[in-house]
């Protein structure tokens, strides 16, 4: 209890010069809630005693008000220990406010150390950068693995296990158009940052021989896949799902589109080769 009082006392110190006007309690185990409710925190609740004294100074009447009966501006003060309740499981409400100005000042991550005793707060981008560097020693290794669709899926899965979502990371870094690979290497290794559009345009310009080896219809489909990537990301390379989405679906059904490449295997090889070239440098 003594240590808890010291912690709360430090937290409640106001520092106007630093803008510290409040503090947050992250109560993972409920211990802070229990200690606040403990009578040892501030002792037993005080009782209010009202006395009536006569002219001789003698007490003729005395009334003691119990804590639960005390009224403060019409509100009953409840001294019962607070209940720890789970957050609601239903869909959260979205509120709209007319006027005013709202912005996100920072995306933060609260992380416990390996012993589970010390809590630290870091920016989400810094947290993601640390996790990337822990998994991969340099940008070159990430590039080699990212160019392979299977290896890329493993990288994404490992980062998701650590709470890293690319949409959230792009929003936190204020880089919505950046390629996920470039964004990872930029925050983790300070590599140059490129957008998906820049990668797509560079591939078309520098690797014309790759596209020229295909017939007109197959070449058109590859260009449409590349355009979808520039707009929406690497999820657009998932075969055969993307073949069922306009404008690619307008070329025919899945089998008809695969036939333009010489069969399903050659279609997949072409798409995989395009992704490898996309991240060649």
* pLDDT given at position 256: 92
pLDDT for position 75: 41
Per-residue pLDDT at 262: 92
Q: Which domain holds residue 243?
A: 196-278
Domain total for the chain?
2
Residue 265: inside a domain: yes
Q: Which of 24-28, 47-51, 80-84, 150-154 has the lowest mean pLDDT?
A: 80-84
269 and 238 in one domain?
A: yes
Residue 69 has pLDDT above 50, yes or no: no
Same domain for 211 and 269? yes
pLDDT per residue as tens digits for the range 133-179:
999 989 999 988 988 888 988 999 999 998 888 888 888 888 888 88
Q: Name the token pair of 203.
A: 């591939």
| Domain assignment present for 162 | yes
Q: Is residue 107 pLDDT above 80, yes or no? A: no
Q: Which of 189, 217, 244 is the last residue of a domain?
A: 189
**Tens digit of pLDDT for each residue in 226-276?**
999 898 887 777 888 888 888 899 999 999 999 999 999 999 999 989 988
The answer on pLDDT for 213 being more than 60 is yes
Place of tokens 């001789």: 56
**Domain match, 209 and 164 both:** no
270 within a domain of the structure (yes/no): yes
Is the domain of 139 the same as that of 167? yes
Same domain? For 267 and 211 the reply is yes
Q: Are 185 and 202 part of one and the same domain?
A: no
Confidence of residue 70 (pLDDT cuts 50, 70, 90): very low
Boundary (domain end) residue, out of 172, 189, 206: 189
* Residue 166 covered by a domain: yes
Q: How far, CA to CA in Å, does 99 sit from each of 87, 96, 102, 103?
A: 30, 10, 9, 13
pLDDT at residue 116 greater than cutoff 70: no
pLDDT recorded at residue 66: 63
- Residues 168, 213 within the same domain: no
Query: CA nearest 143: which of 182, 188, 116?
Result: 182
- Verify that 232 and 248 share a domain, yes or no: yes
Helix 139-146 to helix 180-189 angle, to the nearest 10 degrees?
Answer: 170
At residue 92, the 3 state secondary structure works out as: coil
Do 154 and 207 have their domain in common?
Answer: no
Global confidence as pTM: 0.57
The pLDDT confidence band at residue 73, using thresholds 50, 70 and 90, is: very low
In the predicted structure, residue 84 carries a pLDDT above the cut 60: no
Using the 3D structure, point to which of 170, 189, 208 is the last residue of a domain: 189
Q: Are residues 160 and 204 in the same domain?
A: no
182 shares a domain with 121: yes
Task: Say what the pLDDT of residue 81 is.
Answer: 53
Assess if residue 231 is contained within a domain: yes
Residue 70, in any domain of the structure: no
pLDDT at 132 over 90: yes
Candidate from 33-42, 67-76, 162-171 with smallest mean pLDDT: 67-76
In this structure, is residue 53 part of a structural domain?
no
265 and 202 assigned to the same domain: yes
pLDDT at position 86, please? 63
Q: Are 182 and 189 in contact (CB under 8 A)?
A: no
Tell me the mean pLDDT in the region 85-110: 71
Confidence at residue 74, expressed as pLDDT on a 0 to 100 scale: 44
What is the rounded average pLDDT for all residues in the chain?
A: 82
Angle value at C-alpha 257, between 256 and 263, nearest 5 degrees: 85
Domain annotation covers residue 118: yes
Report residue 280: phi and psi, to 5°: -70, -25
Q: What is the C-alpha separation between 135 and 151, in angstroms, rounded?
A: 13
Return the pLDDT at 214: 93
């Amino acid at each position: 209890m003594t240590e808890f009082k010291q912690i709360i006392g430090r937290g409640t110190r106001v520092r106007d010069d630093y803008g510290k006007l409040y503090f947050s309690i992250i109560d993972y185990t409920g211990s802070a809630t229990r200690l606040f409710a403990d009578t040892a925190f501030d002792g037993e609740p005080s009782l209010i005693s009202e006395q009536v004294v006569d002219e001789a100074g003698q007490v003729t009447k005395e009334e003691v008000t119990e804590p639960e009966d005390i009224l403060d501006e019409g509100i009953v003060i409840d001294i019962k220990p607070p209940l720890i309740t789970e957050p609601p499981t239903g869909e959260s409400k979205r509120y709209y406010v007319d006027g005013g100005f709202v912005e996100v000042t920072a995306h933060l991550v609260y992380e416990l150390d390996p012993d589970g005793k010390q809590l630290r707060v870091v920016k989400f981008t810094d947290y993601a950068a640390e996790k990337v560097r822990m998994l991969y020693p340099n940008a070159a290794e990430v590039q080699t693995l990212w160019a392979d669709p299977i290896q890329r899926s493993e990288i994404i899965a490992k980062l998701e296990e650590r709470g890293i979502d690319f949409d959230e990371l792009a929003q936190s870094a204020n880089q919505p158009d950046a390629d996920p690979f470039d964004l990872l290497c930029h925050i983790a290794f300070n590599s140059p940052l490129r957008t998906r559009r820049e990668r797509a345009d560079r591939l078309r310009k520098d690797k014309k021989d790759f596209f020229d080896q295909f017939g007109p219809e197959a070449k058109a489909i590859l260009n449409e896949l590349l355009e979808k990537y520039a707009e929406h990301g690497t999820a657009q390379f998932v075969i055969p799902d993307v073949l069922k989405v306009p404008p690619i679906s307008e070329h025919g059904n899945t089998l008809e589109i695969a036939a333009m490449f010489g069969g399903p295997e050659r279609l997949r090889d072409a798409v995989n080769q395009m992704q490898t070239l996309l991240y060649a440098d």
